[in-house]
């Protein structure tokens, strides 16, 4: 009789241990998915911010053009030459990423 009880206790503790270990891995996996979802959401927001800054730059260039006779491209090059971190992305690059990246399709604005 006592052997059956001991066997059942060992089985119960083994089952609880396996459930705990399995639950731990499921929890960690869900935590990583939540982090990825947050990073994706932020990436979408940051790409739209980049587009906004390029649009703002174009508006400033139009206004500066009213005060001197330089072409817009010359003004842009002159201003960007003064900037420490030169932009390497364009509005078109941001648009391509936003429209063609399957991970950014589920954004919530």
For the chain, percent of residues with pLDDT exceeding 70: 92
The number of beta carbons lying within 10 Å of the beta carbon of residue 47 is 20
Strand (E) or helix (H) holding 5 = helix 2-67
Question: ∠ CA 108-91-58 to the nearest 5 degrees?
Answer: 115
Q: Do residues 91 and 48 make contact, with C-beta atoms less than 8 angstroms apart?
A: no
pLDDT of residue 106: 53
pLDDT of residue 1: 65
Using the predicted structure, report yes or no on whether residue 29 has a pLDDT greater than 90: no
């Amino acid at each position: 009789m006592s052997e059956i009880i001991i066997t059942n206790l060992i089985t119960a503790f083994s089952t609880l241990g396996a459930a705990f270990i399995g639950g731990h891995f499921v929890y960690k996996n869900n935590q990583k998915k939540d982090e990825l979802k947050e990073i994706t959401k932020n990436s979408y927001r940051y790409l739209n911010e980049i587009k906004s800054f390029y649009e703002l730059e174009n508006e400033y260039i139009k206004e500066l053009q009213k005060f001197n006779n330089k072409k817009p491209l010359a003004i842009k090059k002159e201003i960007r030459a003064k900037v420490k971190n030169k932009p390497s992305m364009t509005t078109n690059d941001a648009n391509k990423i936003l429209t063609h990246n399957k991970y950014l399709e589920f954004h919530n604005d």
